[in-house]
Each structure stands twice: as C-alpha cells, then as structure tokens.
Amino acid sequence: MQYGYFDEKNKEYLITKPNTPAPWANYLGSPEYGAIISGNAGGYSFVKSGANGRHIRYHFNSKDEPGRYIYVRDLENGDYWSGSWQPVGKDLEQYKSVCHHGTGYTNIVAEYDSIRTETLYYVPMNKTYEVWRMKVRNDGSKPRKLALFGFVEFTNSNNYEQDTVNLQYTLFTSRTYYKNNKILQVINENTPEEQSWRFFGAAGAEVTGYDGDRDTFLGDYRGYGNPASVENGQCANSLNYNTNSCGVLQINVDLQPGEEKEVAFLLGQYEEQGASEVLSHYKDLAVVDKELEELKTFWHSKLNRFQVQTPSDNLNNMINTWNAYQCFITFIWSRAASFQYCGLRNGLGYRDTVQDIQGIIHLDHEMALERLRLMISAQVSNGGGLPLVKFDHNPGHEGTPDDPEYVRETGHPHYRADDALWLFPTVIKYLNESGNWDFTDEVIPYSDRGEATVYEHLRQALQFSLDRMGAHGMPVGLHADWNDCLRLGAKGESLFVAFQLYMAFKVFIDIAQNKNKPEDAAWAQTLLEELDENIQKHAWEKDQFVRGFTEDNYTIGSWENDEAKIWLNPQSWAVLSGAARPDQAKLAMDKVYENLRTDYGTMLFYPPFRKYGLPVALMALFNASTKENAGIFSQPQGWLILAETMIGNGDRAFEYFLDCSPASMNDKAEIRKLEPYVHGQFVESKDSPYQGRAHVHWLTGTASTVMVSLVEGIMGIQPQFDGLRINPCVPSDWKTFSMVREFRGKKLNIQVENQNGVEKGVSRLIINGKEIQGNLIPVAEMKDDNQVQVFMG
Ligand code: IFM
C-alpha cells in the first residue's frame, strides 16, 4: 500500500495518507536546537542533548504522542480536529491531509469541514527555538468562528530519564506562568543556579485563553485526542503546581468565506525576556517565508552539488535528495536522537562517525574535514580508536579503554579491531575530493598524549593492527570488528579486519608514494604481500571467504558449518579491498547472489545462529533473521553494490540497489513500515514471519555506504589526486543519463551515452569539445563550467 510520493522538484516527500504504518519522521534544526517530527506532528525537541536538554515530551515505544499539536475548534457547532491528523484522528473520509517533509521543515496541509489549515514547522537557520506557523482559511460559503489551541507538553526535567522515571522528585520542581501571550515554565525556581526556563508563545494574534496545567487541559480520563479545554471551547486559564505542566495558548479566529489568517507559535528554552525578543521578531509574520527560503537555499545548494538524471526515478530521488539528506542528518546527529535513539549515548561512536563522514564528502568536504580532524584526535597513541568520543572530547587528555575513568564515563572497556582502520577510506576520499594533500602533514594530537601528522596517525593505525595479529597472520577481532556481535577476542581473527587492513595498506602505499616516501611504501607493500598470502592460504574455501577464526580455532563462516555458513561482508570486502582474485571475486559474489539474496535485500549470513552463541556469536541473542543474526543488515548493502560495480556487474549492482532502496517499498509500505525515503538499520529476513519489515529509522551508517556505492560505483564519479575519473557501471538498458557535479570549484555537466548497452567501460570522453585519453579528466582541463560527453561501450 502506498501512503505518499516523492516530489523531486521540491525535494520533498509528501505523505498523502496520514495513517502511516509507523511514525514517518523528519529532522528540524541541528543538535544546537534539535527537533524530530512525524507526519502527525509527534516528536520532541531539545537543546544540545536529546537526553540532557529535552524540553518537550515524547512517549518512546508508544503511539507517536505527544507532539506539537494545534487543535481547531468550531465555536458554533462544537466540532474539533487538529492541524495534523493525530491526535484527534478524524475520519479520513472527511479529513484530508498532505504532509510535506522537506529539507529542514515539515508542512502539514489539512482540509476538514471547509477549513484549510497549513502548519509549517521549522527551526530557523542558526537559531535555538522552533516556529510553528499555521495559516487557516475558510473555503466554505458562510462565516466561521474558530478557536485554535497550540499545545506542547513540557518535560519536568531536562534529563529525559529523570522526567520519565523519577516522579517523586521531578513532578514537584516545575511551575508555569502566563505572561504577555506566552506560557513560561520554570524548573527549580528557587535555585537560581539550577533554574531552567522554557517558553511557548504566540505571535500574530492575541491569546484568549491558556493552560499551563496538563491535567486540567486534558481533563480526567481523557487523552490528547479529546482534551477538555478544546471540547469546552475555552481554556481554563490553569497553571500547574505539583502536577505536569504544558503550554496551551488559545487564539480565536473569525473568518469570512475565502478569508485566510495566520498565527505562529514559538517554543524554546528561554526566560521571559529572551522569549519576548523571539516573539517580537515575528510581529510581522512575513519573516516566516523568508526563513523558510533560507533553509531551502541552505540545503538545496548543498544537495545540488551532485545531481543525476537517470532512467530510474527511484535512484534519482535517493541520490539527489533523500539519501544525500539522510547522509547529512546522520553526519550531524550521529546516533543522538530519533524515535529509537533516546539521546543517551554521550558521544560519537568511532567507526560510525568516521564512516558517516564518507557520505557527505562529495557534497561538502569542508564540513567533513572538521569532523575528520576531531576523529583523528580521538585516535589513541597506540593507534586504536576510542570506542566512544565524548561530546566534550579533550584531545591529548583523554583516558583510554585501559583506564578506569574512561571506562566509568563511557562504559567502553575494550578496543574494537576496526575503528581506526576506517580512517583510510575516509581520509583518501577527502584528499581526492578536496585536493588538499597538505592535510597529510597537519599535526593533530592523539587522544591521550602526544601528537603526529595525519600521515603518521595513519601509519600508527596500521601499527595497531600489526601489534595484534593472530595465529593465521591476520588481525585479531577483539571486542568487535564492524560487527558489534562478533566477539573474536584477543586471539581470534577477523576476516573483515583483514580486508580492511588490506585496503589500508593500499591506501597508505598510495599516500606514501605521493609524498615521495619510497621506504614507507615498500614497508607497507611487504606487509600487504604477507597478508595477502595468509588470506589466500587460510581464508579461501573453494568458492567463498570465511568470516574468521575463534580463539579455539573454530572457523566462523565455513561451508562445513551448520549455521552461518556463508557471510556477506567477507565476500564484498574481499572485492572492495582488492584481495580477491578475479575468479574468486566472481565465485564469491555469485555465491552471495544465490544464497543470501532475498526480495528485500541481502542477508548478513545464512542460516541464522540458533545453537552456536555466546561468548563469540552474541547475535544469537536476537531472534533469527533479525539484526546481526542473519537479518538484512542495511549498511552492508552499500558495500555489496559497490563490490558488484567494481567487477563490472551493473545489472546486478542495480538489482541490489532496488532490493534495498527504501523508495522501492513506497507501494509496499505496509510490509516495510519505516519511512520509504530513508534507510533503516536492518530489515527482517527470511526466517522471520515478518520478512521485509524494517527497523531503526534514519540514523544509520547505511546512508553513507549506499550513497558512496551510488555516487562512485553506479554513477562512477571517482575523484582522484589529479582529476575526476568517470567510470559508470550501470544497468545495460540505460541508454543515456546525465549528471551535474561540482569538483574543486568547477562545474561539470556530464552527458553519458550508452547506445551499445554495456554495463561498464568508457570508450570516449570529450570535455568542452576536446577528446581526452582514458576516463580521467585532469583538473587542468577544467574550466569553471564544463560540458562533458562520455561514451560507454
Ligand atoms: O557496525 C555496527 C555499528 O557500529 C552500530 N550498529 C550495528 C553495526 C553492526 O554491528
């Protein structure tokens, strides 16, 4: 079933049926002032931290309530509804709505009983409050008398856990006041050093009633769908004292036929004076449209740095808008706040963050650089990455997983084997995109002590693995490799890390050669060859690579096992790293296709663990076909697509893209459940009774892996040190497609012709009328604006 559609031109997703199978969300603002909102206006807001700066309530794991509600009541006939379908939930035969989720804003248009409302929610650029602007229009033929009730439920503590569970305390610390068109809520009023203020105000109209006491507003034994004050048509002018607080502002509106009026509600963590200043900024509501334009310009100009027109709308929508936007959201928010992440993680996961950076490099390498520096400064001087980089990370002064204090603060007593190795693909992408190779000489502190150039940091990351090799001459798996549920320990070996290390050596050799350091390149080359030999000797089994060896030398991912016989990542990473010989690549990738592929994506391995489990295979804790236990983990789908493009299989790569693209499920939303415009963390696979159901929306490393596979793999846009390589790998039935790409300050309009229907291979390349050899456009050939013709086949 379909609940909405993509509007590519406006870069929006439109929800046309509000009863979506899960809350379909959007992000507003930034972590400085963050807000998450569903198509039914459910969600929450916070300043700086989802866990410690929360000012409005959201009931996790429940019914997408409460939210930013504006109720509308007909003062003559007593009927009432809401600007979003929920919470009142009118009969959808009579209530029509379209929710526009856009880049940094959500606009919900609703029509009911000849009244049209349009409620726009956004956080203005660089501001720390949010705006809800409602336009209300009388589309009927008789005058109407309406009341609007803006509603927000405040938390009683900035800390959301305290607000939820410590009721014997938090309930008795909050009070509300009404002053000049706004409700002010204060927590810990008598303790100036602990005081915290929030406000909910109205602009553009006079308030005719208010409630600051949630239970008075809702009334006894009622819910958000039928609040007493709305039903009464008049707020009770209540204020809370030792009960829950809320902000409700009533505005009465008379409308002649055809007439439209607008009001705005403002919300944030400000005291009286700051709140009044915010309100006065909206004296003239024309400022709202201006602020909306600023937001669109900000986001669209970023996204427009790479745009494609291909025969696939699905791909166009994902590359041009939604996958790219999700990459930015994931990059900015990390795993801080969603409808599943409650904001409790007090920092950035090392591997997740370094991977997230990859998703935005092609669109904003400067933004990427800042985060990359931070992550390099979170590398310990022994070469490993800190598992958790605290929000108040203090380079040069941090503890390590070996220090009790770091462990107490973060709860992470172990290194992961893969963390620092993610720097290699990310750093090389940044260097090739920006051309800023001086970065390799930049001196950055280690997290604990000392400092080094970026180049030396990379060498130290190799050293971390070299210091931790196992009996087969491959890196050990430690507490986890990419897979959080695979605990191979200090002696068991991980093929995932082996392939990462393989790739890392190659990147390092390139950089060393580029920096004219032949001894370093030779050092890495020798080690690469040794590793290669060990992989070939120990890890290749007839037609697949194994996943690892445990401390007692049990082979994970062997065809001889009963469970988890074949794994996806070792096959795709063997190709990505270059370790697989061409015949191995073909055999292994064919085996994946035949054994792991489903209609909804490709499983992490098969069959699921049911017997073999702890202490190595922690994923056995999950139900079969779920998450790391043979679920369709979404992040590896990107590696799979990229690997297929590397071996020239455009048809298959595209098939894999369609399998995992959220947009492919737009008309099967009742199966997928999650938003059809963003990736989730995983999809249930074939041993689940709910095959195809996706979970954990928005904040997932999938955004970046799939994005990279689309941009570099399928579209074949591959920045290099001295230019831009164009090497698409596409379905054979794509006869023509085009791209617009910014690269090193130049614009390239690229037209690709594939009249012979090949999957890969550029035969001619012409830039500004001049034919060049090969498929690399040297920077020197680029003008400010370029016409590029590419012929495949
Ligand atoms: O790689 C991890 C990631 O860091 C967190 N989510 C699960 C992934 C796979 O285990």
pLDDT-derived band at 346, boundaries 50, 70, 90:
confident
Average pLDDT along the chain: 97
Residue numbers annotated as active site: 484
Instruction: Write out pLDDT tens, residues 716-755.
Output: 999 999 999 999 999 999 999 999 999 999 999 999 999 9
Which residue's alpha carbon is nearest to atom 6 within ligand 1? 484
> For the whole model, what pTM was predicted?
0.97
Is pLDDT above 90 for 774?
Answer: yes
Ligand 1 center to 236 CA (angstroms): 50
Q: Compute the distance between CA of residue 238 and CA of residue 241 in angstroms, rounded to an integer.
A: 10
Q: Compute the distance between CA of residue 579 and CA of residue 585 in angstroms, rounded to an integer.
A: 9
Instruction: Write out pLDDT tens, residues 464-473.
Output: 999 999 999 9
Q: How buried is residue 737: exposed, middle or buried, by Cβ count under 10 Å (0-12/13-18/19+)? A: buried
Give the count of beta carbons closer than 10 Å to the beta carbon of residue 502: 24
Q: What's the whole-number mean pLDDT along residues 91-115?
A: 98
Ligand 1 atom with the smallest distance to the CA of 335 is 5
Domains and CATH numbers, the chain: 4-301 (2.70.98.40), 717-792 (2.60.420.10)
Is pLDDT above 90 for 689?
Answer: yes
Is pLDDT above 90 for 73?
Answer: yes
Ligand 1 center to 196 CA (angstroms): 36
Q: Is the peptide bond before 87 cis (omega within 30 degrees of 0)?
A: yes
Q: Compute the distance between CA of residue 36 and CA of residue 44 in angstroms, rounded to an integer.
A: 6
- Substitution site in 350, 482, 487 for ligand 1 pocket (most atoms within 8 Å of beta carbon): 482
Q: Compute the distance between CA of residue 275 and CA of residue 129 in angstroms, rounded to an integer.
A: 9
- Substitution site in 357, 414, 484 for ligand 1 pocket (most atoms within 8 Å of beta carbon): 484
Give residue 43's Cα distance to chain centre: 17
pLDDT-derived band at 485, boundaries 50, 70, 90:
very high
Residue 190 confidence (pLDDT): 95
- The DSSP letter of residue 548 is E
Instruction: Write out pLDDT tens, residues 486-511.
Output: 999 999 999 999 999 999 999 999 99
Ligand 1 atom with the smallest distance to the CA of 483 is 10
Residue 344 confidence (pLDDT): 83
295 near 122, Cβ under 8 Å?
A: yes
pLDDT-derived band at 345, boundaries 50, 70, 90:
confident
* Contacts of 775-778 spanning 24+ positions with Cβ under 8 A: 775/725, 775/726, 775/727, 776/720, 776/722, 776/723, 776/724, 776/725, 776/726, 777/723, 777/724, 777/725, 777/726, 777/748, 778/722, 778/723
Q: Is 651 helix (H, G, I), strand (E, B) or coil?
A: helix
Q: What's the whole-number mean pLDDT along residues 432-451?
A: 98
Residue 638 confidence (pLDDT): 98
Is pLDDT above 90 for 261?
Answer: yes
From residue 642, give the alpha-carbon distance in Å to each of 198, 322, 387, 603, 634.
Answer: 48, 19, 27, 16, 14
Residue 610 confidence (pLDDT): 96
| Helix (H), strand (E) counts: the chain | 21, 44
- Substitution site in 345, 388, 483 for ligand 1 pocket (most atoms within 8 Å of beta carbon): 483
Give residue 791's Cα distance to chain centre: 35
Ligand 1 center to 603 CA (angstroms): 15
- Which residues sit with their C-beta closer than 6 Å to ligand 1? 349, 351-352, 482-485, 628
Ligand 1 center to 664 CA (angstroms): 24
Q: Compute the distance between CA of residue 43 and CA of residue 31 in angstroms, rounded to an integer.
A: 15
Which residue's alpha carbon is nearest to atom 1 within ligand 1? 482
Ligand 1 center to 700 CA (angstroms): 9
Which residue's alpha carbon is nearest to atom 4 within ligand 1? 352
Instruction: Write out pLDDT tens, residues 270-317.
Output: 999 999 999 999 999 999 999 999 999 999 999 999 999 999 999 999
pLDDT-derived band at 531, boundaries 50, 70, 90:
very high
Largest CA distance in the chain: 86
Q: Is 499 helix (H, G, I), strand (E, B) or coil?
A: helix
